[in-house]
Structure 1
Amino acid sequence: MTAEHLETVTPAPAPTTPLGTAGPDPFAWLEEVEGDAALAWVRERDDRAHDALGGGGLDAIEEAIREVLDSDARIPDVSRVGDHLYNFWRDATHERGLWRRTTLDEYRTDDPRWETVLDLDALAEAEGVSWVWHGASLLRPTPEQLAAGEPWRRALVDLSPGGSDADVTRELDLVEKRFVPAAEGGFERDTARSDGSLGAKGGLAWADEDSVYVFTDFGAGTTTPSGYPRVVKLWRRGTPLADAVVVYEGAADDMYISARRSRTPGFERDVVSRSIAFYRQETFLAERVGTPDQVLVKVDVPESAEVGFHREWLLVELREDWTPAGAPGEVTYPAGSLLAAPVDAFLAGSRELTVLFEPTGTTSLVGATWTRHHLVVTVLDDVKNRLHVLTPPADASAGAPGAGWERSELPVSDDLVTVAVRAVDPVESDAVWLTTTGYLTPSTLALSTASGPGAPAATPEVLKSAPAFFDARGLVAVQHFATSVDGTRVPYFVVGRSDLVHPADPGTPGTAPTLLYGYGGFEIPLLPGYSGSVGRAWLARGGVYVVANIRGGGEYGPRWHQAALRSARHRAYEDFAAVARDLVARGITSPAHLGAQGGSNGGLLAGNMLTQYPELFGAVVVQVPLLDMKRYTHLLAGASWMAEYGDPDTDDWDFVRTFSPYHLFDGARDYPPVLFTTSTKDDRVHPGHARKLAALMLAAGKDVTYYENVEGGHGGAATNAQAAHMAALAWTFLHERLAG
């Protein structure tokens, strides 16, 4: 597509002054995802991006990243199911991937033998669909079936066309390794939309061997404003989907409705989840599901709380302070706490709760996983990883609240190393997977056993160790704190050559090419982790890599997140800017050599750095971003994020407009060079956000590079080759702009 041809299909350039909201949007045509004019514009911009960056070592960087992504020395991430360890694997030969399995004994070897269960490349070729793996759910056999030697046989496999959030579900026989067709009673959720595309947002969840919960697009009125399911039904094998029985129907403006069954022997429970908004939900326990006598019992906790079940125990994680009605002594539990109670007693009205974790000024809870007899909790202390093992009393109904709960520790060897813990099989075992990773520490996977106080601490068995994908000699990782404009201490990590991270003369402006990365939203923390791509493409070329733990994230729990919600969103951006200034004050870098990068919500962050703080940066990378905050609630899943940002169709626009990059852009200002990347198949954050701000800036004559991948969904890429290409474009752009 030539530039001359583009002139015949694209509207005239937009005004270069800040956009108002009364008149028409001059680039609304770019919201038509598959529109001829929009795609012609995309192809032209993609060609120009390759022309601009192709001479900057792009191919070499792409090859170096691809080697990491395709390396056979990577650790295969596994889940134990019965006698097998299952893994999904992509490499150069299997671009779309293999779902495969082996045994633990084989996995312990240097070269395990794998059995292919499903080959996505072969499936994609046979069906002519660019399938992308979205995961699988396996049905646990009953104790009687296991005792009789029956295998784990039934799986529900989710597949996405091109990587979109919308997907399909098919039943797979794990013994015969074939899909069970609907003609044989197999479960299939193969929604075809009116435009002919496959898939819908939602899924299937096992209830028992012959029934599933189905929550999907059933037709008009059955999805929420965000496109997620509003109705969940019980679907019995051998019956038409149209005959599935409604279990729960949410309100028209709810966010997501789903259901599942916990099949722990002796503690089977049917759980219905109603997501009212992003941080508000209700949980119900269902009895006699799918019958005229069905009963739903609401779990009486705050809508902002999250609940979980394990055997006889109920866990409640709080996002706000809670004073339970009827609790002894009118006790108030602070936001960020983790509470436990016997399920039966709580449902009967007791409000005697045990505090398992209570945050301090520097600590927060970031995860909890049950084994058979223990609860392993992950705590951050100033963004440093700590692991605790909590052991409940054998009899949940015995003693006073808190009686019998015991605590022990799982040691973490290094403050700047993250140890992620995951139960192997919480129904039957106390075994846990331990994944250890750090900025300069290649990942390892170990098998260990959680144990209570007094028991000998288990020595983790290291099963796999990833190789060093880059030379870390002379590199250091440190933590610093910046001070935001309101006095808040903001932690951040710096990784790079020691002489660059610790300059000899901090008073002299630094020249090290430095990339500052952030996210700052949805209570998600950014923790240390190994990246061969960052090491090869940036650190090995003399770059400094920085990760900012700004407000809006989860580094200090709900309070840190809520400090930057809605009208307080500016604090996240002030924090990021404070880190940028601190890097300059320490002599590590200077604005001309400092870049900013973020994706998704982090793309909104990067967009605000571009438009609000252009003087702080020499280049900005904006990936799969939100940028038009006036329109975001009308684009794809945007309506589900109003709890985070506000509703721009109300008076909230008064504050939302203050962080809407599309409306903050002013053609009369100077801006650093910017790279926008997104995906045509992103059906979560609309590609129109990136398209429109890029077009607006181009019309004003700004330095803009734009690249849109045709596949990949919100992740941006559907294969390792695509991921390597997208990453190489960003690293090449940053190196050219920041390193001179």
Structure 2
Amino acid sequence: MKIAAKTMRAALTASIVVLAAGAAHRASCQSTPATAEQPDNYTWLEEIHGAKSMAWVNAENAKTETWLNSDPHFAALEAKALTVLDSPDRIAFPSFMHGTIYNSWNDASHVRGIVRRTTLADYLTAEPHWETVLDYDALGAAEKQSWVGRGLNCLRPEEDTCLASLSAGGEDAVTVREFSLKTDSFVENGFVLPRGKQSVTWLDKDTLLISRDWGPGTMSQAGYPITVREWKRGTPLESAKEIFRGEVTDNGYGDHATVLRDGEDHVAVILEQSASTFEHTSFLLSPSGPRKLALPPKSGITGFLANHFIVALQEDWTPAGQTTRYPQGSVLSIDYDAAKADPEHLKPTAIFTPTEREFTQAVRTTRNHLLLTTLNNVQGRAYIYSPGKSGQWSRKALPIPDNQTVAVTWASPTEERFFLSLNGFLNPPSLWLGNAADGSLKEIKSEKPQFDASNFAVHQYEATSKDGTRVPYFVVGPKDMKFDGQNPTLLTAYGGFQVSQTPGYSPTTGKLWLERGGIYVLANIRGGGEFGPAWHDAGLKTHRQRIYDDFYAVAQDLTTRKITSSSRLGIEGGSNGGLLMGVEFTQHPEMWKAVIISVPLLDMLAFEHLSAGASWVGEYGSVSVPEERKFLASISPYNQLRKDVNYPEPLIFTTTKDDRVGPVHARKFAARMEEFGEPFHYFEITEGGHGAGADNKQRARTDAAMYTYLSTKLMY
């Protein structure tokens, strides 16, 4: 899916989990999976906006509101959360176009946010002078619509005409409108695409390549587009010419076009057919039509540099007609002209080859160089790669400290300058300006701390999973932390879709949890990408129990070290991490005192027909395959809930506007708990999409609800 784990981590700032319990007690109390499938009595909750469904939601929300408003800590926590989320001391992270800095910004005066700009010279000062380009609050007020900005896609190389994506309430579906950076206004009679799940890119100033719902037979079973059309300015949208058509069974994230431009003005158009969650077929658009590139299904073109495609491998590959085997996790370059001449016999050159503990995370290009970030035993690293005349690549390591996450926040094929961000559990974000041509790197901004981290330290430990696999995890706590099993601890993980969980600065976690005596634990379980594609593949489909065993092993290790105990341990996860929480809730109910289940998948026997669920069969398997259905029934939290089990009282959170996973999983799970007479708190907000809220006010309230719950269960 990409049920966007990184997006979820940024949105669900209350990502903390705690685990503990005595080994003998755990062994005797673990829940044995039920073999039979329970009847589904709550399909009526699948009508997301139905009167009966919403009456149930409103009733449960009213109960939760009563509980929150009666808690003496809730209002203060909400105020603290909003203060740090709206802090003017946050770094205004930049994009850079033709010497001008652009930034998207939210604060108390701009609840839904603005796009603004300044010069590079002014940006480098302590207090830049910003000019507003696009005001989403004003636009929403004028149009009586709850708009959330989803970014500007600007035509290169001029970068003065853009496509603005607007989401109603934070959902994935967007409305697209042409916007001019010359006039700071929407273009009269410009390109407009009505609301939908769609992908759009510029071919030239008068032509768009669009994937969207064109009518019957143009959307996959997962609800994503399968056709690409070329739309010319001044013509009706419905007259757009089809240039590519996939299959309705293409249940990845949609078939779409990408226009690649390098710093030398070479242009390549790639058409991608997304067959499943992780398998893609790439076509090169030529005058005679699409031509298939002989790349392995689990690979992707991640950049275009010096007339070469940059390709990231997620599986081993021996190209046709060659004997060299390139291992999964490699980054390769392929000559564009050679690929055009013979797309069936590609001749790659290795740029990066993974080691036992170091794997690629992201690849970006400048005009003449490649930027690559990696994880080395979950420690962030960054490199500049330079192509040589002989076709080989040299690299220079950039100075990245331990226990921090590094990300390329901006790079462009028209520039050698780039921006890097660094942050860690206790280190506020810092911004660095680099030059790929000479390898220089200079810190230009550092965010003021949003909480007092002077008394805390970060440690990295390893747990041993059921099959002997070593699973690393981070612990953030006081320097003088007592190992007496009494620390209120929050443990979190994601465990899916090859998404890596790395050290990150969360001001709400720091202010609402760490400062108040909590311990934070982040587990790097299988299913993620911390140790490359194999770390992810180990937990696919019927092997998924390994992921849940990893998480439980970290909990056991925390209790063995006496960092915490089951009476002080809470867990939290969102999206696929919400499924993880549901599984741990049903498999080891005795282990957790608090469980937060956010925007989750929980009904794994029905997920394929709920929202975009069919696009995740590559991760979870399918109920249409008997062996996979049997396994899904054995782990599905909705199916595994049983009467007369002593479950902890969970907090279940979702949003009505979530058009990716949808609110149905959370609703049905809570309804079954209600049927069984089990206590729970249920919290469904209207907006927010697949996240914690559509703006900082909504996110602050969600955070406050989560930390109020955790405090009640683990601290008092």
- When normalised by structure 1's length, the TM-score is 0.89
Q: Residues 442-457 of structure 1: matches in 2 within 5 Å?
A: 442-451=428-437, 457=439
Q: Any unmatched runs of 5+ in structure 1?
A: 1-16, 143-151, 191-198, 289-293
CA deviation map 1:147-191 (0-9, x unaligned):
xxxxx431100001111111110001221222124xx3x11001x
Q: Contact (CA 8 Å) 2:244, 2:290: kept in 1 or not?
A: no
Question: Which whole-Å CA distance do the structure 1 matches of 2:392 and 2:489 have between them?
Answer: 51
Question: Which whole-Å CA distance do the structure 2 matches of 1:120 and 1:359 have between them?
Answer: 43
Go from structure 1 to structure 2 and tell me whether the alpha carbon gap of 1:422 and 1:468 turns closer, same or farther (over 3 Å shift).
closer
Question: Which whole-Å CA distance do the structure 1 matches of 2:59 and 2:510 have between them?
Answer: 32
CA deviation map 1:615-672 (0-9, x unaligned):
1111100000000001100011000000000011331201111220000111121111
1:254 to 250, 256, 266: 250
Letter in 1 for 2:118: T
2:440 to 458, 467, 473: 458
**Shift of residue 297 of structure 1?**
1.9
Question: Which whole-Å CA distance do the structure 1 matches of 2:137 and 2:377 have between them?
Answer: 44
Match of 2:554 in 1: 579
Query: Tell me, what secondary structure is at the counterpart of 1:715?
Result: coil
Question: Which whole-Å CA distance do the structure 1 matches of 2:258 and 2:300 have between them?
Answer: 16
Q: Contact (CA 8 Å) 1:369, 1:422: kept in 2 or not?
A: no
Go from structure 1 to structure 2 and tell me whether the alpha carbon gap of 1:56 and 1:565 turns closer, same or farther (over 3 Å shift).
farther
Across the aligned residues of Structure 1 and Structure 2, the Cα RMSD in angstroms comes to 1.6
Match of 1:130 in 2: 146
2:474 to 488, 493, 511: 493
Q: Residues 284-433 of structure 1: matches in 2 within 5 Å?
A: 284-288=283-287, 294-308=288-302, 309-327=304-322, 330-349=323-342, 351-394=346-389, 399=390, 403-412=391-400, 414-427=401-414, 429-433=415-419
Go from structure 1 to structure 2 and tell me whether the alpha carbon gap of 1:568 and 1:404 turns closer, same or farther (over 3 Å shift).
closer
**Shift of residue 222 of structure 1?**
1.2
Q: Residues 141-152 of structure 1: matches in 2 within 5 Å?
A: 141=157, 152=159
Match of 1:3 in 2: none
Question: Which whole-Å CA distance do the structure 1 matches of 2:572 and 2:654 have between them?
Answer: 13
Moved more, 512-521 or 247-256: 247-256
**Shift of residue 347 of structure 1?**
4.3
**Shift of residue 21 of structure 1?**
4.3
Question: Which whole-Å CA distance do the structure 2 matches of 1:207 and 1:347 have between them?
Answer: 18
Match of 2:48 in 1: 33
Q: Contact (CA 8 Å) 1:515, 1:595: kept in 2 or not?
A: yes
Go from structure 1 to structure 2 and tell me whether the alpha carbon gap of 1:581 and 1:667 turns closer, same or farther (over 3 Å shift).
same
Q: Residues 190-205 of structure 1: matches in 2 within 5 Å?
A: 190=194, 199-205=195-201
Question: Which whole-Å CA distance do the structure 2 matches of 1:266 and 1:133 have between them?
Answer: 30
Choose between structure 1 and 2 for higher RCO, CA contacts under 8 A separated by at least 6 residues: 2
Question: Which whole-Å CA distance do the structure 2 matches of 1:333 and 1:205 have between them?
Answer: 31
Go from structure 1 to structure 2 and tell me whether the alpha carbon gap of 1:656 and 1:450 turns closer, same or farther (over 3 Å shift).
same
Go from structure 1 to structure 2 and tell me whether the alpha carbon gap of 1:84 and 1:241 turns closer, same or farther (over 3 Å shift).
same
Match of 1:4 in 2: none
1:100 to 116, 140, 145: 116
**Shift of residue 361 of structure 1?**
2.0
User: Aligned pair 1:51/2:26, yes or no?
Assistant: no
Question: Which whole-Å CA distance do the structure 2 matches of 1:219 and 1:686 have between them?
Answer: 23
Question: Which whole-Å CA distance do the structure 1 matches of 2:672 and 2:36 have between them?
Answer: 13
Question: Which whole-Å CA distance do the structure 2 matches of 1:247 and 1:544 have between them?
Answer: 54
**Shift of residue 731 of structure 1?**
0.7
Question: Which whole-Å CA distance do the structure 2 matches of 1:560 and 1:404 have between them?
Answer: 29
Q: Residues 693-708 of structure 1: matches in 2 within 5 Å?
A: 693-708=669-684
Question: Which whole-Å CA distance do the structure 2 matches of 1:126 and 1:423 have between them?
Answer: 32
Question: Which whole-Å CA distance do the structure 1 matches of 2:560 and 2:72 have between them?
Answer: 30
Q: Residues 158-177 of structure 1: matches in 2 within 5 Å?
A: 158-177=165-184
Question: Which whole-Å CA distance do the structure 2 matches of 1:338 and 1:404 have between them?
Answer: 13
Letter in 2 for 1:299: L
User: Aligned pair 1:671/2:669, yes or no?
Assistant: no
**Shift of residue 103 of structure 1?**
1.1
Question: Which whole-Å CA distance do the structure 2 matches of 1:424 and 1:249 have between them?
Answer: 32
Q: Contact (CA 8 Å) 2:167, 2:174: kept in 1 or not?
A: yes
Question: Which whole-Å CA distance do the structure 2 matches of 1:316 and 1:719 have between them?
Answer: 36
Q: Contact (CA 8 Å) 1:18, 1:667: kept in 2 or not?
A: no
Match of 1:624 in 2: 599
Q: Contact (CA 8 Å) 2:211, 2:226: kept in 1 or not?
A: yes
Letter in 2 for 1:247: I
**Shift of residue 141 of structure 1?**
4.0
Match of 2:216 in 1: 220
Question: Which whole-Å CA distance do the structure 2 matches of 1:422 and 1:166 have between them?
Answer: 25
Q: Contact (CA 8 Å) 1:523, 1:561: kept in 2 or not?
A: yes
Q: Any unmatched runs of 5+ in structure 2?
A: 1-32
Q: Contact (CA 8 Å) 2:261, 2:413: kept in 1 or not?
A: no
Aligned positions, number? 676
CA deviation map 1:705-733 (0-9, x unaligned):
00001001001310100000011101110
